[in-house]
Chain A
Amino acid sequence: MARAATTSDAFNAVAEPRRREILDLLADGERSVEEIVRALGLGQPQVSKHLRVLREVGAVEARADGRRRLYRLNGAALKPIHDWISGYERLWSERFERLDAVLEELKRTEGDGR
């Protein structure tokens, strides 16, 4: 279970909604802390804390740019996390796609149920 536990630590770090927003933002390119603060409307201390957690599991990397620090995604660290989670997530997505079809039919045969 050692491998799974390690991946799970990384996943827990990445699963937090605000941290996912940061990752979404960084998916579009490098950003400074200030830019992330502006984009998400969070306080700088919170953003710095989230970035620290993401750096600890290797999900993001930082580099100096003059006096600023720029953060970017580390795709290599994120891929195993996606690998680990996406199969189970996809199982449910496919169940729900079938469920959508059943619901469309119920809506036709029963109106909106009211």
Chain B
Amino acid sequence: MTSTGTAQLTLPTDEQILIVREFDAPAQLVWKAWTTPELVARWWHAKRGEVTVAEIDLRVGGAWRSAMVTPDGQEVAFHGEYREIVPHERLVSTETYEGVPGAPPTLNTMTLEERDGRTTMRLTIDCPSREVRDAIVESGMEDGLQDALDLLEEVASSLR
């Protein structure tokens, strides 16, 4: 269940998702890759489509919006607003999924901690309710079904 290089996802409370990942780069560069539109466009799609929008107005109260189009033509878009900005250390923003009308925003806190040139990112997603949290986790099932099946196979064989 532990492996390096993959995102470690846990559910610290009923309303939270925590994603932890270490990067082999200083915090300044991770911050830059996370907050520069043309760089975000290169990683945010997670190989599931093409990023069509990456807008970032990096100031407190400023807006962000990201969208991608999947190979079957479906647009997946999110937007939000920056609440707290500590360069290279901490970024707090809201996030709303545009695919569900009236979907409530989550509050996302991204922190970076650098040690010996490597950086640990902790991304906490605070949801308005457990139902929203569970729906977000389940949203990954469709996107990553094949990958999930591969993982399941791994898990299943390790449990034999």
Q: Find chain A residues with CB under 8 A from B29 CB.
A: 103, 106-107, 110, 112-113
Contact among B24, B134, B152 for A86, CB-based, below 8 A: B152
Interface 1/0s, chain B 52-77, versus A by CB < 8 A? 00000000000000000000000000
Tell me the minimal C-beta distance from A66 to chain B in angstroms: 26
B26, A20: Cβ atoms closer than 8 Å? no
User: A interface, how many residues as a size bin?
Assistant: 35 or more
Tell me the minimal C-beta distance from B106 to chain A in angstroms: 13
B134, A91: Cβ atoms closer than 8 Å? no
In A62-80, the 8 Å CB interface with B consists of 73, 75, 78-79
Q: Find chain B residues with CB under 8 A from A92 CB.
A: 7, 9, 19, 21, 46, 123
Q: Find chain B residues with CB under 8 A from A86 CB.
A: 140, 144, 147-148, 151-152
Q: Which stretch from A3-11, A30-38, A43-51 is at the chain B interface?
A: A3-11
Q: Find chain A residues with CB under 8 A from B151 CB.
A: 82, 86, 90
**Number of chain B residues whose Cβ lies closer than 8 Å to a Cβ of chain A:** 58
Q: Find chain B residues with CB under 8 A from A112 CB.
A: 25-26, 29, 117
A79 to B43, CA, bound (A): 29
Tell me the minimal C-beta distance from B74 to chain A in angstroms: 15
B139, A75: Cβ atoms closer than 8 Å? no
Q: Find chain A residues with CB under 8 A from B78 CB.
A: none
Q: Find chain A residues with CB under 8 A from B39 CB.
A: 102, 106
Q: A11-B11, A92-B21, A98-B47 are in contact. Are A79 and B152 (CB under 8 A)?
A: yes
For the complex, is B155 an interface residue (Cβ under 8 Å from A)? yes
A26 to B14, CA, bound (A): 26
Smallest Cβ-Cβ distance to B27: which chain A residue: A113
For the complex, is A40 an interface residue (Cβ under 8 Å from B)? no
A88, B159: Cβ atoms closer than 8 Å? no
A79 to B45, CA, bound (A): 27
For the complex, is B143 an interface residue (Cβ under 8 Å from A)? yes
Given known contacts A5-B130, A79-B159, A86-B140, what 4 new A-B pairs fall within 8 Å (CB)?
A8-B11, A93-B21, A103-B24, A107-B25
In the A-B complex, the 9 residue pairs with the smallest Cβ-Cβ separation, listed nearest first, are A88-B140, A75-B159, A87-B140, A98-B43, A87-B144, A92-B7, A94-B46, A113-B28, A103-B25
